[in-house]
Amino acid sequence: MQLFVGLGNPGAQYAHTRHNIGFMAVDRIASDHGFGPWKAKFQGQIAEGRLGGDKVMLLKPETFMNLSGQSVGEAMRFYKLTPADVTVFHDELDLAPGKLKLKQGGGHAGHNGLRSIHAHIGEDYRRIRLGIGHPGRKEAVAGYVLHDFAKAEEEWLDNLLRGLSDGADALARGEGAKFSTAVALRTTPPRPSAQKPATAKKADPPESEPEDSRSAMEKLMEKFK
């Protein structure tokens, strides 16, 4: 069994913010893969289903981002899981919008949700880093992540979420490369192969008139006939 965690903040006012892209990811997986209804449990919302032949629980902590580890730790202990069974979907400022990176273990890079999870279960869990871009100034980060996605961002966001859902089975099977490929096919689809334009058929050269072999005198006499 595995635990897929989407990070975000509870409440309608945060539903479409950049910080909630983790919630959006697990919502999309639940919808596309026929998971059961969301139920209140472990200080969050949880849904049950299957991915890649394995039982998977989806979790959206409702503790607010900074305390996400409380919910994750409680669920992990209840199901007797190890950190290696946990995958966390979260926003990533250091990746361009629509980009994704899969990471196993490591630091939290200042992300408050990951910082809290580290404190409760350690660092040996898998992360799906979902790029939202950076506002350019450190002091603007808080307002940026808590702001709704702009209308111009809707296309890449939808493609990214579709790709995550497409690759969810492979992710559950531990096939990271296949998962990343499934996402890439949505976010950066291959260009159609360039076809050489059809070569125009050369027109037949105009037929030349037969050469007149008569002498000048014969041609002159022809005029007076």
Digit-coded pLDDT (tens) for 54-76: 999 999 999 999 999 999 999 99
- pLDDT, mean of residues 95-108: 94
- For 35-55, write each residue's pLDDT tens digit: 999 999 999 999 999 999 999
Q: Model pTM?
A: 0.84
205 falls within a domain: no
Instruction: Say if 203 falls within a structural domain.
Output: no
Say if residue 206's pLDDT is above 70: no
Cα 68 from Cα 43, distance rounded (Å)? 9
Average pLDDT of the segment spanning 80-87: 97
pLDDT at 102 over 60: yes
| Percent of the chain's residues with pLDDT above 70 | 85
- The answer to whether residue 119 sits within a structural domain is yes
In a domain, 194, yes or no: no
- Whether 43 maps to a domain, the answer reads yes
CATH code (residue 154): 3.40.50.1470
Range(s) of the domain holding residue 144: 2-187
* pLDDT attached to residue 212: 60
Q: Is residue 223 part of a domain?
A: no
Q: Has residue 136 been placed in a domain?
A: yes
Give the number of domains in the chain: 1
Q: Averaged over 123-128, what is the pLDDT?
A: 97
Give the residue-averaged pLDDT of 188-202.
64
Whether 152 is in a domain gets the answer: yes
- 19 included as an active-site residue: yes
Annotated catalytic residue, options 16, 19, 33, 134: 19
